[in-house]
Structure 1
């Protein structure tokens, strides 16, 4: 079988993917080019003196890494000129980015986290770019209003991530399943390596930062205790794995099954993860791969963002594992 590139794969499935227009294909091409550029910078980070922080704090109150800033600039520069977008939102930018009239504009909106897990770069752990693609509501013209961007995750026309690790991978969905592509440095192309990715119905791994246990709410503590003592389908106990980079932990969950949890804290009842640039795109992928994503009570893709950087708790992965958490939350609600 010949190697299949991302563009070839999209064209092959164009009849089943209504949004796979020339404009959409061009958008994806520039996203891929951005990912290749970021990957190259990351691979040379230790040689170019671009490790460590900038000394600044972003809109999320987090320390900005040098590569955060570089990845953000690459994404904005490239995607503003792609001709398919009318607006963008970056995890690193406080306000909505409207495409300048000096560039051609299209009907799509891009929401992205330019470099998830960037604090791990100094110790050479996987990081990634997460993206979500929305379509501007029909009938809207002129300057893009914030209300047009604040759409629930179920409206996404595509979502995915680019994982920078031992190999660079693109994992994405246009609503027709989840497919993974690995960058072949020799030819400079992402080639189909993981077709039709599926999350097992039940896994054997739970992923959560147990160092914050004292800050969890009661349902989360009970749910994690359940995973401590629950047996998997093959009679083994669950294992604990936590990388500390959302995109890396989710990628493992997508392949092996299990559950990733970023619960609400007593002092952060809405959790820490951003709904639009982190939780929603990964929830879209999880559902397309046969999994589930919840805030403990509601489907992530049904949540209506009230602001650009709205946050949410996240429980994502295998259906049975996520449902086990939801049952705990339901018991506490009725108690």
Structure 2
């Protein structure tokens, strides 16, 4: 459960001044991303009044139909990254390849990756969605940035975070060893610190998974979920609840606040693909946040953060949340 801290109601800028004093460029970049998220939040809040609902009539690199708000959020984040002067290049879930910024004096020392709008299917029905971001170290200024420079294991992330656009707009950030949360004050436009310390409960009675895909899962996942559904009369000896929002950010935010386990496993519909979620834009940043909050994150066989990426849009299976449940699922896969 979240614990109150002496940092409550400190501004994001003040928090970064203390936590990232050794890297002012990183602090400036996070402030630029947070400002972009505040702008996106305004568009989300106005919805149909801003003409941002519906599809854009285009597809992203994964062949998914883009929503109008996907495209707008992507553009806002690209402009913010460029204007910050702290980024050598970006990678977006909505872009085919990286976007490198001018070399020389303006070139930053960081690489920025983001999923502009996670949970896009929820946009038009007014259900929580979010923005996920990750920061990696850039190569030296003498080196021309390529997509290969982004292929760093998740443990090399300098920072990771997400903005959740729900009843409140919340920013969750890890830049040191803790996970900090901030709420956007609509009256002032300031990000104010709230529950600074988030800890994932090691045990849980909640799981999040898309049950409609049960027939496509591997046997270890089916067996695990069946045991949960058997409740107190089954081998687990306790009743479980299922929660599924179809927005990874929203599901993870719930787990950070009250425990739980989130599963998006491999399934037989695309047997040659390791999973559905993107390693670089979703699994790595959220995996880092969950680990630093005391939880665990694996691809059902090994820690997410230890995976060596092989491509910019690599997909991966994800099991994250309360350590006891993640360990149970992971061990079942290793034994299969």
Which structure has the higher relative contact order (CA within 8 Å, separation 6+)? 2
Secondary structure (helix, strand or coil) at the match of 1:212 reads helix
- Kept in 1: contact 2:160–2:175 (CA 8 A): yes
Q: Distance in 2 between matches of 1:140 and 1:323?
A: 42
- Kept in 1: contact 2:103–2:141 (CA 8 A): no
Q: Distance in 2 between matches of 1:236 and 1:167?
A: 33
- Kept in 2: contact 1:86–1:107 (CA 8 A): yes
- How far off is 1:101 after superposition? 4.2
- How far off is 1:174 after superposition? 0.9
Computed over aligned residues only, the root mean square deviation of the Cα atoms, in angstroms, reads: 1.8
Q: Distance in 1 between matches of 2:256 and 2:88?
A: 31
Q: Distance in 1 between matches of 2:105 and 2:315?
A: 31
Deviations 1:305-332 (A, max 9, x none): 1000000000000000100101211221
- Kept in 2: contact 1:81–1:103 (CA 8 A): no
- For 1:47, which of 43, 46, 49 is the aligned residue? 49
Q: Which runs of structure 2 are paired with 1:125-144 in the superposition (5 Å)?
A: 125-137=127-139, 139=140, 141-144=142-145
Unpaired segments of 5 or more residues in structure 2?
1-5
- How far off is 1:267 after superposition? 2.9
- How far off is 1:145 after superposition? 2.1
Aligned residues: 326
- Kept in 2: contact 1:293–1:315 (CA 8 A): yes
Residue 17 (structure 2) aligns with: 11
- How far off is 1:140 after superposition? 6.0
Q: Distance in 2 between matches of 1:219 and 1:298?
A: 15
Residue 148 (structure 1) aligns with: 149
Q: Distance in 2 between matches of 1:82 and 1:192?
A: 22
Residue 259 (structure 1) aligns with: 261
- Kept in 1: contact 2:231–2:237 (CA 8 A): no
Q: Which runs of structure 2 are paired with 1:1-335 in the superposition (5 Å)?
A: 3-14=9-20, 18=22, 21-101=23-103, 104-137=106-139, 139=140, 141-229=142-230, 236-268=238-270, 269-332=273-336
Q: Distance in 2 between matches of 1:247 and 1:330?
A: 27
Q: Distance in 2 between matches of 1:90 and 1:302?
A: 21
Deviations 1:254-292 (A, max 9, x none): 111110000001133411100000000000001100000
Secondary structure (helix, strand or coil) at the match of 1:44 reads helix
Q: Distance in 1 between matches of 2:238 and 2:310?
A: 42
Residue 215 to residue 103, structure 1, CA distance change in 2 (3 Å): farther
Residue 3 (structure 2) aligns with: none
Q: Distance in 1 between matches of 2:132 and 2:97?
A: 18
- How far off is 1:235 after superposition? 6.8
Question: Structure 2 length as normaliser, TM-score?
Answer: 0.93
